[in-house]
């Protein structure tokens, strides 16, 4: 990924597209390379442009955000997907994150939050609006092993085998922090943080950061 983050904006509201474009025009490292009014148009734009992040509304005509993400998952080169919505729904949030989305941000957030979300997601972070984060943790804790196929005793034992440094990284990871944020918090280099995260994911047999959080929260339940 280049130093410039190429973004595709997807929303059926011209006003929202214009506002978001203005937000990113104030940055030096984020560039809006294309816009689309629905999922179908977004897929067409992805075929024409080199896109790092798709910032998409959830409720759109023709093809909505979650369906767009399902189609993105079929692409050979999959850009990072962040959902941006005015309607906060636990069901939709969980669907987006379980499909591999890197974020769920409310349109009511300040422009800086949206900008930081794009930067954090490209750095490997999982971005969820504060209002939704507490509910996300509750949902993950409520997922019983029978549904998530997690053995809480086995996962708890894995927690005990982590080094103190790995435990510190895991704690911040479960808060949704990016590699850069964890590096600053723990006074490590980003490369060291990446190695720790990769190692922890491997030790838990997780498929992603979100999957790792599910396993850990079920182990602590």
Q: Residue 151 maps to which CATH number? A: 1.10.10.10
- The first and second tokens of residue 109, run together, are 């957030």
- Average pLDDT in the 4-10 region? 96
**Confidence check: pLDDT of 106 > 70:** yes
Q: Which DSSP state fits 78?
A: P
User: Using DSSP, how many helices (H) and how many strands (E) does the chain show?
Assistant: 12, 6
Span 28-78, pLDDT tens digits: 999 999 999 999 999 999 999 999 999 999 999 999 999 999 999 999 999
Comparing 5-9, 21-25, 200-204, the range with the smallest average pLDDT is 200-204
Q: Band of the pLDDT at 116, cuts 50, 70, 90?
A: confident
- Hey, what are 20's tokens? 């978001």
The answer to whether residues 49 and 157 belong to one domain is no
Q: How far is CA 122 from the centre of its chain?
A: 9
- CA 166 to chain CA centroid, Å, is 21
Give the tens place of pLDDT for each residue, 129-188. Answer: 656 655 565 555 454 444 444 444 455 556 778 888 888 888 888 776 778 888 999 999
How many domains does one find in the chain?
A: 2
Mean local confidence (pLDDT), 118-137: 70
Give residue 146's pLDDT.
42
Give the pairing of strands 103-106 and 127-128.
parallel
Q: Which of 80, 112, 138 is the last residue of a domain?
A: 138
pLDDT of residue 145: 44
Average pLDDT over residues 17-25: 94
Which pLDDT does position 218 carry in this prediction? 59
State whether 130 and 168 are in the same domain.
no
Last-in-domain residue among 121, 138, 155: 138
Q: Measuring CA to CA, how many Å separate 13 from each of 10, 36, 37, 122?
A: 9, 10, 7, 25
CATH number at residue 99: 3.40.50.2300
Q: Which two tokens stand for residue 142?
A: 């409520």
Would you call 20 exposed, middle or buried from its count of C-beta atoms within 10 A (0-12, 13-18, 19+)? buried
- Separation CA 189–CA 130 (nearest Å): 26
Do residues 93 and 152 both lie within one domain? no
Between 212 and 102, the higher pLDDT residue: 102
* Residues spanned by the domain of 158: 146-220
Q: In what order do the strands lie in the sheet with 103-106?
A: 30-36, 5-10, 53-56, 80-85, 103-106, 127-128
Per-residue confidence (pLDDT) for residue 127, from 0 to 100: 75
Range with the largest mean pLDDT of 1-10, 15-24, 106-115, 191-200: 15-24
């Amino acid at each position: 990924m280049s130093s410039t983050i190429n973004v595709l904006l997807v929303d059926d509201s011209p006003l929202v597209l214009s506002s978001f474009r203005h937000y990113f025009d104030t940055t030096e490292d984020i560039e809006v390379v294309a816009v689309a009014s629905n999922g179908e148009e977004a897929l067409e734009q992805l075929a024409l442009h080199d896109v790092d992040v798709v910032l998409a509304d959830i409720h759109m005509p023709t093809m909505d955000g979650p369906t767009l993400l399902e189609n993105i998952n079929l692409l050979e080169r999959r850009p990072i997907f962040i959902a941006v919505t005015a309607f906060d729904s636990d069901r939709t949030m969980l669907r987006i994150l379980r499909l591999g989305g890197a974020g769920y941000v409310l349109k009511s957030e300040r422009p800086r939050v949206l900008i930081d979300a794009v930067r954090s997601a490209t750095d490997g972070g999982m971005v969820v609006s504060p209002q939704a984060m507490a509910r996300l943790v509750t949902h993950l804790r409520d997922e019983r092993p029978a549904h998530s196929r997690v053995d809480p005793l086995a996962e708890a034992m894995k927690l005990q085998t982590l080094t103190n440094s790995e435990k510190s990284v895991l704690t911040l990871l479960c808060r949704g922090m990016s590699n850069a944020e964890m590096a600053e918090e723990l006074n490590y280099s980003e490369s060291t943080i990446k190695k720790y995260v990769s190692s922890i994911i491997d030790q838990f047999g997780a498929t992603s950061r979100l999957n790792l959080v599910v396993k850990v929260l079920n182990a602590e339940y």
